[in-house]
C-alpha cells in the first residue's frame, strides 16, 4: 500500500534576499550578463520593492502607481524612467568593453 505524502509549498519572495548593496549588485550583474531586457526590468522592480516603492517614488519623482505599472510583466518602460529609478536606488550604469581589441 502506498501512502501519499503532502508537501507544503512556500512562496518565494526574492525581495527578502535583496537586503544589502552587495546582494543587489550581484543580482543585477547576473541579470545584465544574461542580456534579457525584460528580466532586467523585472530585476530593477524587485529591487525597488525591496527598498520600498513609496520611497523610490518619492526619490525618483515618479508616482507609486506609475512605478507598479512600469515593472508590471510585459511593460516597456522608457529608458529615462528606468534611469530615474536606478539613480533613486543609489546605483548607476557602468559600461565596459566585452573584449580588448
Q: Output the pLDDT for position 13.
A: 84
Whether residue 57 contacts residue 67, with contact meaning beta carbons closer than 8 Å, is answered with: yes
pLDDT along the chain (101 residues), means of 10: 79 86 90 91 93 94 94 93 94 81 57
* Grid cell listed for 70: 512600469
3-state secondary structure of 49: helix
Q: Output the pLDDT for position 61.
A: 94
Q: Output the pLDDT for position 71.
A: 93
Whether residue 43 contacts residue 27, with contact meaning beta carbons closer than 8 Å, is answered with: yes
* Grid cell listed for 18: 535583496
- Domain range annotation of the chain: 15-88
C-alpha 22/C-alpha 35 separation (Å) is 20
Q: Output the pLDDT for position 100.
A: 63
CB atoms within 10 A of CB 8: 4
pTM, rounded to two decimals:
0.79
Amino acid at each position: 500500500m502506498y501512502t501519499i505524502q503532502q508537501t507544503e509549498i512556500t512562496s518565494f519572495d526574492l525581495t527578502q534576499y535583496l537586503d544589502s548593496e552587495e546582494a543587489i549588485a550581484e543580482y543585477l550583474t547576473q541579470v545584465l550578463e544574461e542580456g534579457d531586457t525584460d528580466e532586467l526590468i523585472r530585476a530593477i522592480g524587485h529591487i525597488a520593492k525591496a527598498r520600498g516603492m513609496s520611497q523610490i517614488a518619492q526619490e525618483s519623482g515618479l508616482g507609486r502607481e506609475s512605478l507598479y505599472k512600469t515593472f508590471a510583466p510585459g511593460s516597456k518602460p522608457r529608458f529615462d524612467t528606468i534611469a530615474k529609478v536606478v539613480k533613486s536606488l543609489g546605483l548607476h550604469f557602468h559600461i565596459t568593453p566585452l573584449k580588448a581589441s
